[in-house]
Amino acid sequence: MIYKGFNTKAVQSGERDYNLLDTVTFPIFQTSTFRMNDEKYSDLNGRETFFYTRINNPTTRVAEKKIADICNGSDAVMFSSGMGAISAIFNTFLEEDDEVIMLKEMYGGTYKLMKSKFERLRIKPVLISVNDLENLEDYITRRTKMIYVETLTNPLIKLVDIQKVSEVARKNGIISVVDNTFMSPYNFRPLEFEIDVALHSTTKYIGGHSDLVGGVVVSRDLEIIQKLLEERSTIGSNPSPFDSFLTIRSLKTLGLRVKRQNQNAKILAEFLNDHPKVKKVNYPTLYKKIPDCFKSCPGFGGVMYIELESFEKAIEFMRNLKIIIEATSLAGVESLITSPVLTTHAGLSDEELEKAGISKGSLRISVGIEDIEDLIEDVKRALAKI
């Protein structure tokens, strides 16, 4: 059968038909659902047992089921933030003396978590570049437990060959984890390439309105889901029911929003790429070659990386903008811009920034759903003043 919805291609299901824009229904308002018995009390991590929100909540459960469907997974576990989801993955699957292959170009928050936690727990990060993925298997040792990558790196917007990561991980019996936040499940679904774990900061595209904070982990392996559920229940990193409600609301317009952001970002990237005051633009539609796994994608989201002549020029340009707002988040309906060296990668030294390939004159732009002519005029006017 087929799940119908915003996806450009049907997601296969083995059980029933319904439109993903419709509400997933559970008997959560029937009195019998809330009547406890000894069996329910003993099933502390039962997915449909609702007696304490840190352990489970009916609104959160609806959101998890909908996200699992959209991502083509078997189930999902929601968290209070994207970093909460990442922390839970590391806590659950990594032990002392394990090695983790990660990208040098990773998100600054993940990098800080890795630095603060791994050394203390004697977990060794093996940092490689996106360009090293061609020889990924050369970095695997008997201690390698996990390969952790981002679909699009933050903030450099480099595409990662997810199919290659999946093949190497499966061949060597290693857990593969993909942070798919920047692509969103509308544009790309890592689980369809046999990745073990896909995660999203629901704060970003899944939320899409800059009014909630959350994270989610999706997998086709129910044993992975159960372990993460136990971790969430133990450390208390569950989302609030209201944020779960907002997530359900946002899923109804995910396809509409991301489709428009794909279109706007492509046009804006081309305009900036041709502008004499912009040194560099990183956005997938400008690349001469992309990994095969992305060739059927409807788009690449709204986030792009640009470089200006200097840090001072970048800040001046950013502060000259009127429509595009200076703010650290991304993927909302409004266009945002930020300096990575002041925000997402502020904790990195000059040497670490250089190793990550992040320029002092860099900016990350998250394109929203505004009229593209207005956005181009805003950028043109701001560049003319520097």
Task: Return the active site residues.
Answer: 54, 107, 179, 204
Residue type, 214: G
Tokens 């509400």 map to which residue?
23
Residue type, 378: D
Structural contact between residues 184 and 136, judged by C-beta atoms closer than 8 angstroms = no
Q: What is the 3-state secondary structure (H, E, C) of the chain?
A: CEEECCCCCCEECCCCCCECCCCCCCCCCCHHHHCCCHHHHHCCCCCCCCCCCCCCCHHHHHHHHHHHHHCCCCEEEEECCHHHHHHHHHHHHCCCCCEEEEECCCCHHHHHHHHHHHCCCCCEEEEECHHHHHHHHHHCCCCEEEEEEECECCCCCCECCHHHHHHHHHHHCCEEEEECCCCHHHHCCHHHHCCCEEEEECCCCCCCCCCCCCEEEEECCHHHHHHHHHHHHHHCCCCCHHHHHHHHHHHCCHHHHHHHHHHHHHHHHHHHHCCCCCCEEECHHHCCCCCHHHCCCCCCCCEEEEECCCHHHHHHHHHHCCCCEECCCCCCCCCEEECCCCCCCCCCCHHHHHHHCCCCCEEEEECCCCCHHHHHHHHHHHHHCC
Distance of alpha carbon 29 from alpha carbon 64, whole angstroms? 18
Distance of alpha carbon 89 from alpha carbon 316, whole angstroms? 39
